[in-house]
Structure 1
Amino acid sequence: MQKAEQEFLKDLDKKLWSAADKLRNNLDAAVYKHVVLGLIFLKYVSDAFEERREELRKNFRDPDHDYYIPQEDMSDEEYDEFIEEELEIRDYYIAKNVFWVPPLARWETLKKNHPLPNGTEIELPNGETYKMKSTAHLIDDANGAIENENPELKNILDRTYSQKQLPADKLGELINLFSDANFNAKEYKGKPLSINSKDILGHVYEYFLGEFALAEGKKGGQYYTPKSIVKLMVRMLKPFEGRVYDPAMGSGGFFVQSEDFIEEYGGKIGQISVYGQESNPTTWKLAAMNMAIRGIDFDFGKEPADSFTNDQHKDLRADYVMANPPFNVKDWWNEKLADDPRWEYGTPPEGNANFAWLQHMLYHLAPSGSLALLLANGSMSSQTSGEGEIRKNLLENDLVECMVALPGQLFTNTQIPACIWFLSKNKTNGTKTPDGKGKGDRSGTVLFIDAREKGYMKDRVLRDFKPEEIKAIAKTYSDWQQDNNDYEDIPGYCKSATLEEIQKNDYVLTPGRYVGAPETEDDGIPFPEKMKKLTTKLKSQFEESEALEEKIKENLAGLGYE
């Protein structure tokens, strides 16, 4: 993305969020989130529809196009009417994977009629009429109409605006806000933009997800993984073709970043198939809308469901699995899981789901697949309730490939220190990477990366990674995998350890145990000489301190204080 486009999106983000947030007043953040994101989605499907509609209008009148409709003996008025009728044929839109938007649900209908009083009868673009009840009812009916015409969106859109008791004036202001926003900008500060309205709306949707996660704090942060962590995991895992699965998908951030990664390498999103699962019904809908905005085909199961007790993809064996499940979940266990075939390396403790998530992901991994899992730091060293034995079995079966220790303060919803596990079913394979290079034989070794000192404070409470840091960490992993002589151990940062070394550390996988301390530059001064100088300096500072203390006592005495 060019600098002008980045600046334009950043400016648009701030303007929209600032304006939308002012309208929230006393609405609960969780309620307001769905109101706003639902309107963004409605604007998206309508804009995409209108973009295709305008393209068709030109094609119908272009003699060189396959869709050309000759005027023949029709008058200009008759010809225009015929073109407009042709534009209402659904197949023209479905053929280009554009959602068919019925007249009631088109943004123009909403924009023109939202201030009208209840009971007003309005005329729709196709000549039909609709009696207004309220703006909220109009949105509900619009979403219902879209779902009826597009089976893939069934039960995904929010049809409860009329139940939220939203002030009509505030809802109207939101509609005006998104109506006035320039989602079709062609230039910014005199510089041309090569970004279409769908990409802009997709970006705004993702930005708002992140801002709502911040607004909701601990309650909302579960469904949103910080973008920089997602980007790091995707860049290291490189999911460029095949089946991609996330069993705790939240709003679908891993899939969005996978799309961006593929496009960066010149591929197409159609190279991957997306599978996900989410137990929270509203978050499940948010993820589906996120995929629809991005034009990503997805299979999120028949319904929102718990991945452990109601696995929606039992037969799936994915090429890549990525997840950020909630850390250290205590109430995950169900008696019917006791002899589950997923616990191949040991039954997880009933009071902590960390190793249940890890083994669930391994179970769904293809024979040459790889996975990335974000977990609490305790997973690297805990010996309680059989966790140490599970970790030992994973290592003895040569499944663990890389461990990354992350810095603190990366999350909006927890201060628990975190790490990333990378596992592979086959560390001897020569799987190709997007740059065409093959992976080398990594059997019997594990790469440890200590990234705790990376990142910067983006504000008073949150840390973030710089883009160059993400690239550097990913390159370290890639160089080690490919065994191309570019990799080397760096004290304090990375170390390629053997299974024997890990056994000596009781199968503990904390990177700090292996990478050691950073090397310090030798200044050439012998230690005794350094110590003498330091001792002399310390003595001088003590003397200065005593003199200062005496001076303060004299001043206090002069003021009448002993």
Structure 2
Amino acid sequence: MQAESAFSLDEMLAEVRRHRTHLSRLMNAHDATRLVIGLLYLSRKAHAAPGTNVPTWSWLLRQPAERGSGIRAAVSKCLSHWLPAADEQSADMGTRSLMPVPPSGSEGSLHALIQAIGSTQRVGPLLDQCLRDLSADQAQADGSHYFTPGDMARLMVGAAVPRDGHRVLDPVCGSGGLLVESHLYVRERVELDPTMSLQGKEQHAHTSQVARMNFAVRGITAHVFPPGDSLAEPEPERHDIILANLPFNQRDWAPEDKTEQSARRPAPLVPVDPRWPEEPPSRGSANSAWIQHIAHALAPAGRAVFLMADSVANTRQPITRRLRERLLRDDLVECVIALPPRVFGHSKAPACLWVLNRDKSARPGWGVLDRRRQVLFVNARRAFEPVPESRARRLGDKNTALILTTLAAWRGLSENGAAASPYNDAAGWSRSCSTEEIADRESSLMPTSYAVEPPSPERDTRSRVEQLKLELADQFDQMRDLELRLLDVLEEI
């Protein structure tokens, strides 16, 4: 192996990105990045005892950079042998054939990438860079959300507070970033390899393959289910922690045979699915379906943290409003955090972070304060920082820590034996409300309506703009609902 000290980490990242960029001129950027992730995977997994006659990473390192198909064929052979299958029960459904084939003319870049990766033990930063590159190319990623920004992942996991031995699920796991962060969070606290169960589900086969490679490169044991739609069926088992960076406003999500009784004269919908015992969610948007799917999958003391479009917290649409009423009646809502706009890549729409909890009573591992029939609202709309040399924004470590400190104080949760910090409402930042007060406000769960800034001309302008945005989103929701009703009527004619 070459001397690792020959390159700084920044130089290594720049070199790998340079060769990946050259590959992207010969194939699309999405496939080029996945090919680099495949090489990172091989560097950690393609090892065998001498004499076994299988292609290995050390064998790949020895391949010459000659023109022709030699090294390209060697890379394909090695990937084909070592890549994990998407479905362990069926080789035909495996992911091996999903990896892109190195194109003609890529010999030099492939050889340079193999040598660069082989010269370092620090593959984690290289993998993170590749995942960020995949997320930046949304158009070619088929809408898949590969990478939740690190500060957002730390916020979500820190709000969920996973413990060793917990069963953790991400029903839309993408590249598996939230599960990786859960593993790191627990490992830092137990100082051992966690015994928790990590499970991920992903609809797209390509993304599912990336998740498997992500876990393998980092040495994390996790189970990624065969590609499929998580909303198709209820979860068969309960989970202690559920984390999800959800797709917003997903349309036409419901299977036809579960939503229509008759093509000519549909009967009223019968809520046979245990996830929605009172009424099924709207077919026009999967937002409510995702919330109920997650709530149904929680263990008796389970917690869930997920991203959700602003409109769900405040819309007057009857189905969504009744869902909020049921969540409050069942005392499932623990905290709602209004996030700054444009701090996560897959949507420019304003969003909130929801925290559900089936048991808010004082207990070990959660907190010393009984918070039943109460909800914490955090208004973090302005808690962002600019990304250097970019027009982008990020939450940032300081703001992430501030939100988590507020939530821990409200719970009465302490770390490392220290006394829990006292909680007090802070104007414009956080407020603890009773479920009765929330019910009197049409069960609105919008933090900016409760954690209100002190009066000022600037605040009044922002408040009016915020209200207009919510009203516009509400009108869009009603338009989608009316559109689906009209289509149902036309089908009867």
Q: Normalising to structure 2: TM-score of the pair?
A: 0.79
2:254 equivalent among 329, 333, 340: 333
* Counterpart pick for 1:259 among 178, 183, 186: 183
| Counterpart among 438, 441, 446 of residue 375 in structure 2 | 446
Cα distance, 1:238–1:8 mapped onto 2, change above 3 Å: farther
Structure 1's 345 and 29: CA in aligned 2 closer, same or farther, altered over 3 A?
A: farther
Question: How far apart, in 1, do the equivalents of 2:18 and 2:126 lie?
Answer: 13
TM-aligned CA deviation for residue 402 of structure 1: 0.0
1:418 to 351, 355, 362: 351
Instruction: Determine if contact 1:427/1:442 at 8 Å carries over to the other structure.
Output: yes
Q: Which residue of 1 aligns with 2:431?
A: 495
Structure 1 residue 287 displacement after superposition? 0.5
The residue matched to 1:37 in structure 2 has which SS? helix
CA distance in 2, matches of 1:229, 1:299: 23
Matching residue's letter, 1:351: G
Distance 1:365 1:305, change over 3 A: same
Amino acid at match of 1:467: D
CA–CA distance in structure 1, aligned partners of residues 370 and 119 of structure 2 = 48
Cα deviation 1:411-466 (Å, max 9, x = unaligned) = 33321111111001111151415xxxx44211010000011111111154321122
The equivalent residue for 1:59 is none
User: Structure 1 residues 164, 237: CA separation in 2 closer, same or farther (over 3 Å shift)?
Assistant: same
1:99 corresponds in structure 2 to none
Contact in 1 for aligned 2:86/2:95 (Cα 8 Å): no
Q: Which amino acid aligns with 1:15?
A: E
- The Cα of 1:227 is off from its aligned counterpart by 2.1
Fraction of identical pairs, as percent: 27
In the comparison of the two structures, how many residue pairs are matched? 428
The DSSP-based 3-state class of the residue aligned with 1:428 is: coil
Give 2:106's aligned amino acid: K
Q: 1:481 aligns with which of 411, 427, 438?
A: 411
- CA shift digits 1:472-505 (9 cap, x unpaired): 1111101101174611100000000111221221
Name 2:103's counterpart in structure 1: 166
Residues of 2 paired with 1:150 and 1:395: CA distance?
Answer: 39
Give 1:468 shift. Answer: 2.0
RMSD: 2.9
Deviates more, 1:258-267 or 1:336-345: 336-345
Among 211, 224, 231, which residue is 1:287 paired with? 211
Show the counterpart of 2:134: 212
Distance 1:157 1:137 in 2: 18
Larger radius of gyration: 1
Q: SS state of the match for residue 369, structure 2? A: coil
Structure number with greater CO (CA < 8 Å, separation at least 6) is 2
Q: Equivalent residue of 2:404, what SS?
A: helix
d(CA) in 2 for partners of 1:399 and 1:480?
16
TM-score (norm 1): 0.70
CA–CA separation in structure 1 for the residues paired with 2:274 and 2:65? 58
**Matches for 1:446-525 after TM superposition, within 5 Å:** 446-458=375-387, 459-482=389-412, 484=420, 486-518=422-454
Pair 1:160–1:232, CA change in 2 (3 A)? closer
Counterparts of 1:387 and 1:357, CA distance in 2 = 12
User: Of 226, 236, 243, which residue of structure 1 is paired with 2:149?
Assistant: 226
Mark the CA change 1:259 to 1:156 in structure 2 (over 3 Å): closer, same or farther.
farther
Within 2, Cα distance between the matches of 1:152 and 1:14? 36
Match of 2:55 in 1: 105
- Do the aligned residues in 1 keep the contact of 2:248 with 2:309 (CA within 8 Å)? yes
The match for 1:15 is 15
Contact 2:19 2:112 in 1 (8 A): no
Deviation at 1:231, TM superposition (A): 1.3
Shift of 1:381: 0.8
Q: Structure 2, unaligned stretches of length 5 or more?
A: 260-271, 414-419, 457-493
Q: Distance in 2 between matches of 1:456 and 1:24?
A: 31
SS in 2 for 1:265: helix
Contact 2:336 2:355 in 1 (8 A): yes
Q: Letter of the aligned partner of 1:203 in structure 2?
A: P
Corresponding position of 2:28: 28
Alignment match, 1:177:
113
Measure how far apart 1:355 and its partner are.
1.2
Q: Which runs of 5+ in 1 are unaligned?
A: 51-86, 90-101, 119-132, 185-196, 521-562
The equivalent of 1:387 in structure 2 is: 320
Give, as a single letter, the amino acid of the residue that structure 2 aligns with 1:353: A
Paired amino acid for 2:170: D
C-alpha contact 1:325 1:374 (8 A) present in aligned 2? yes
What SS class does the counterpart of residue 32 from structure 2 fall into? helix
2:44 aligns to what SS in structure 1?
Answer: helix
Q: How does 1:60-99 map to 2 (within 5 A)?
A: 88=50
In the alignment, the residues of structure 1 paired with residue 278 and residue 191 of structure 2 have an alpha-carbon distance, to the nearest angstrom, of 36
Q: Assess if the C-alpha contact under 8 Å between 1:345 and 1:359 holds in 2.
A: no
- 1:111 deviation in Å? 2.8
